[in-house]
Amino acid sequence: MGEILLTADLKPSTPDANASLPPRRILMLSPHPNVQGPIPKITPLLLDPLRAAGCEITVEPWGRHTDTETLAAKVLGRARDIVRLRSLVSAVRFDVMIVKTSHEWMSLLRDVPLLVATRRQLPLIVVEFHGGRSDRLPARGNRAFKWATLMLFHLSDGVLVLSSEEARDASVFYPQGRFQMMVNPFRISEHDRHAARPERLPAVPTLVSACRLVPEKGIFDSLAAFVLLQARRPCRLVFAGTGPAAGDLASRVEALGLSDKVTLAGLLSHDELMTTYRAADVFVLPTHGPEGFPTSVAEAMSTGLPVVTTRIRGLADHLEEGVNALFVPPRAPGALADALGRLLDDDVLRVGMSIANRAKVGDFEPARAAEIYLRALAEFDRVTASPM
């Protein structure tokens, strides 16, 4: 197997005078800030603590320029971006280039050519996956996807992932690789750090699900569970987000006669989303997609929301059953309805989760996430520089 560097203890470690220093001049490639997705929100949180640690960081956009980019614009735009970035790394001496991306087929088609074009100009290249299809690596078939992944791993010096599951899948697939588990940085607001939720629920409690509206996020399972729950007690359901399945979800809500009980809030600003979390009573995300650790879960936890979700990827690594979340099987609306009903009925469990979740998101503070980052970069650099 490849080398897996799992960081189980997220608390700051005592500095070691003999430890290798991480690469100091960093080129970080991140999606354009105007596109949807978690990475543009996460990246800025790392910059200040990394700079405070002595790193010089240059952030350059990489990937689609807009959410509505055509295929022709993608091809031409990525070709131009590769030329631009190759010129940059030829002119400036960077210690490391970090490519923040996802482990998806379309991402591989753009990332592999980038690494081919820049490999000789850089002493260290690190790929950072924010979720993706590592589950395809141990499965049969998927030959083209596996070949492209093999090329990416071969051209990089280390890979950062968000879960131990992804690290194990990648390590078995590419035994000579080095894979480090990281965490997404998250900063809890002072308001939410000290706020307390009421011990008693309102007469009509609110469930909230915030995600991209695609079936893999379990949105139709959440709706089916809500129908079952409605037979037992009054409640409301709010979906925050947009996506390809938004129309189908709206049609199903209308067909069920639930338009007065289910709200499709659409794409919300950060402030609007946090207000929605604070007004809700339980967060639900029965995802069965290629998650890392969904940012929406950390956001909901920071406001003291108890969580009902599936035991996959980073959710399994960081959340404890009965403490931070109730876990349900994927695609199981009945079990989901039972778990939601249990939380709504148990004031002690719900309040305990609220307190635990506010404390838990402290593990994802940017300074702690940056320390894990720097340890990973230092180890990748040390191993790469070691004589064979």
Nearest by Cα to 117 from 202, 184, 29: 29
pLDDT tens for 27-71 read: 999 999 888 888 888 899 999 999 999 999 999 999 988 888 899
CB neighbours (10 Å) of residue 11? 8
pLDDT tens for 61-98 read: 999 888 888 999 999 999 999 999 999 999 999 999 99
Least confident residue range of 130-134, 168-172, 195-199, 255-259 = 195-199
pLDDT tens for 276-331 read: 999 999 999 999 988 889 999 999 999 999 999 999 999 999 999 999 999 999 99
Mean pLDDT of 14-39: 74
Provide the token pair at 208.
């909230």
Mean pLDDT of 182-204: 88
In the chain the domains, ranked by start, together with CATH numbers, are 3-182+365-385 (3.40.50.11930), 190-364 (3.40.50.2000)
% of the chain beyond a pLDDT of 90: 81
- Tally of residues, the chain: 388
- Three-state SS for 178? strand
Where are the extended beta strands (E) located within 25-146? 25-30, 56-61, 96-103, 125-132
Residues contacting 112, CB < 8 A, separation 6+: 148, 151, 152, 155
Mean pLDDT of 163-173: 94
Provide the token pair at 219.
């949105």
Q: Chain centroid to CA 346: how far?
A: 30
What's the chain's average pLDDT? Answer: 91
% of the chain beyond a pLDDT of 70: 93
179: phi then psi, degrees, rounded to nearest 5? -130, 130
CA distance 162 to 86: 28
What is the residue-wise DSSP string for 291-325? -SS-HHHHHHHHTT--EEE---HHHHHH--BTTTE
Geometric angle at alpha carbon 111, from 383 and 93, rounded to 5°: 55
Mean pLDDT of 263-288: 95
pTM of the model: 0.86
Mean pLDDT of 218-231: 97
